[in-house]
Chain A
């Protein structure tokens, strides 16, 4: 709609919008996270939800204890290989539309512990991640910025056509393969439909 016409109508007390804007406005302003802290980043997440950096004013009103009632999973902390199947299982139990924020270096790529024998090098190997927050740990302001980035991402999702959210797309998968415990490593070591190892450039350092 023409912006000039819209502002004229607004002055007369008539407000116009699109169904898409209204739908996404409702969705993005009430994203309820799942209580999911694994390690040190969880402390920063708790700090973000407390009085000084209040996350509730952005719509994350309560951290839901049950995945069935949550919209957002903030993976905060190192994901160990022993914990990885449970993370994927909890993600599968969340109803659509659901989003994932990978908080901290460990959730993005294994972080400072990536050479560990029990560290999963990034949760995006098994579940689709929408926003990554670098940092070790990221400050509460960074988590707020990531939350706002997620809200902007939700806002830009159209209702029809390409890029529509998964719950409006019957062909899109919403449950992903849960890794099993193998003899030496998780099986499969990553979900090949979600994550491919990035190419290695020949130029060293």
Chain B
């Protein structure tokens, strides 16, 4: 299996203008992914599939990730004058990282029997600009999986042959896998409720008593 850095440099040479980035992974699996920009995603995907060394012809899994807006805080050492003496002080700096939705593709090669190469695409934001190019033309397996991501996350895939809901019914309004999804008041019977379930049950009963 070729290293991700070499794949990145080969792709940058083959597809001019593509902006690729390796997303690090601190977990024990250490699987790093390749972030590709939306405009060149189709070209990069075709290159990954047709390259004679890689031949990644099997998209085994396509999934979505919801990254809500988070406040990142990092400790920064800066020089500051404290009581007349210039010294290095640790300061906590907070930055607001805007939220986005992401589609993650796991690619394997049936021919060369190697993989996975993980491809990521990010939307601009979580509200109105949640569009990504569809890679169904490159790997047919993406068709249903992208429908599932549209259903559950709300990412619209441009160029998808048949984009409609697959798990929920067609008139359903929300996107259930988003972090801000609110479940309907569908009473969940729990014989020994406590904490959150108890609060929800009490609210349901008070709402029912009111109607």
A positions within 8 Å CB-CB of B: 81-82, 109-110, 114-115, 117-118, 121-122, 181-185, 189-190, 197-200, 203-205
Contact = CB atoms under 8 A, between A and B. Distances in A.
B204 A184 contact: no
Contacts of A200: 193, 198, 201-202, 205
A184 B184 contact: yes
B188 A205 contact: no
A45 B176 CA distance: 32
Given A185-B184, A200-B198, A200-B205, A109 B189 contact: yes
Interface string B159-183: 0000000011111111010000101
A117 B168 CA distance: 9
Contacts, number: 60
A118 B204 contact: no
B192 interface: yes
A205 B183 CA distance: 24
Contact of B205 (A118, A184, A199, A204): A199
Contacts of A121: 186-189
Given A109-B189, A115-B188, 20 more contacts: A81-B169, A82-B167, A82-B168, A110-B188, A117-B183, A118-B167, A181-B169, A181-B172, A183-B171, A185-B184, A189-B185, A189-B187, A190-B187, A197-B187, A197-B189, A197-B204, A198-B189, A200-B198, A200-B201, A204-B192
Given A182-B171, A183-B172, A197-B205, A189 B184 contact: yes
